Amino acid sequence: MLTAQGVTMKELATMLAGFQAIGRPVVNRTALDGTFDFHIPFEPGFVFGPNPGSPLVPSPAADSGPNFFAAIQEQLGLKLQSERAAVEFVVIDHAERPTEN
């Protein structure tokens, strides 16, 4: 379930990028301003395994409701589509331990 209050489309894009189902950056191209409240129930395709650190396993309830992508489209009217786009990221090319003073 995804619930939020007072969220901009840019913030929603950032939240969506953090979902394991997406696994990549999300760029807001809606041109919508303002803030939005929403409550989106969905059935995940995969759930955490029985032990910490175990891989994801298929959800037994996956067929009982809309999946993540369908819920976003049906309930918010937003479509997530894969495409190539320029995104900002930080590259750290060197790091050193701080010296003691």
| pLDDT band, very low/low/confident/very high, at 63 (cuts 50, 70, 90) | low
User: Quick check: helix, strand or coil at residue 9?
Assistant: helix
- Other beta carbons less than 10 A from residue 68's beta carbon: 19
pLDDT digits (tens, 9 = 90+) for 21-61: 677 888 888 999 999 998 988 877 776 777 787 777 777 66
Q: Which of 1-5, 8-12, 51-55 has the lowest mean pLDDT?
A: 51-55
Structure tokens, 89: 């990221």
One DSSP character per residue, 37-96 reads EEEE----SEE--SSTTPPPEE-TTGGGS--HHHHHHHHH--------------------
